[in-house]
Amino acid sequence: MCDECGCNERTIRVEEPVLKANDDAAIKNKSFLSEKGILCANILGSPGSGKTSLIEGLAGHIPPAAIAVIQGDLESEVDKLRLEGQGITCYQINTHSGCHLNAIMVANAIGDMILSGKKYLFIENVGNLVCPAGIALGQHVDLVVSSTCEGSDKPRKYPLIFMDADAIIISKTDLTDAVGFIEEDYLADLRKINGRAGIFRVSCKDADSFRQVANLLEHEWDHLTGAVH
């Protein structure tokens, strides 16, 4: 019996070489992007948490021409079309039944994309608060988008994905009162498992609310490229 679910344990064992292949590809992706001076952010969150809206909001503070996006969804090109409408280069991956992106998919995408002139590569992962946790893609930073509508108890109930985040983006803050989101409770649980992540609050109703996330990414890009203003 496997520890995870009490099922046949064989699945767990053979995943090891698969994860090794993933990690090797992730290291290559990160190295390739670092050499090109492109900061890669893995954007994680539940379905409908506001991952695409985060990218749209960031494009108000970062020139769209400097942004490339790899868009992960089971099906459809809905979000790709949204972002292309803002002049953002976007590459769609449809996983069909796959519950997260992996580094090999990202390597294939990077190989197909024209990245010259880009400063940022945003990977919008499949909407899922469980499975993408801990799957390296080659990213420099992990951003978790978590909407007020999902409730105050998410860090307590889904700790894995929050644990490794570099930044938590609390989205849909305009609905805080309407949905009874209690930030104090949310942060108390979060701080037990991740004391270092930056906390940001955004709302699509306030274009300026995305500025500080853009500043964080600019800071990380400076760090990556050794740029000094």
What is the binding site for its own copies (CB under 8 A)? 3-8, 10-11, 14-15, 17-18, 21-22, 46-48, 73-76, 78-79, 95-99, 102, 104-105, 108, 126-131, 133, 147, 149-151, 153-154, 156-160, 172, 174-175, 178-179
Smallest distance, Å, CB 126 to its own copies? Answer: 7
Closest to its own copies by CB, 24 or 218: 24
Closest to its own copies by CB, 40 or 126: 126
Smallest distance, Å, CB 48 to its own copies? Answer: 3
Smallest distance, Å, CB 189 to its own copies? Answer: 9
Closest to its own copies by CB, 68 or 129: 129
Residue 157: CA atoms inside 13 Å, Cβ hemisphere, count? Answer: 10
Q: 108: burial class by Cβ within 10 Å (0-12, 13-18, 19+)?
A: middle
Sheet holding 67-73, edge to edge: 89-94, 67-73, 120-124, 39-45, 141-147, 167-171, 198-201
Q: Among all chains, which residue has been given the structure tokens 């953002």?
A: 88
Smallest distance, Å, CB 69 to its own copies? Answer: 16
Torsion over CA of 213, 215, 219 and 222, rounded to 10 degrees? 120
Closest to its own copies by CB, 204 or 224: 204
> What whole-number distance in Å separates Cα of residue 157 and Cα of residue 45?
14
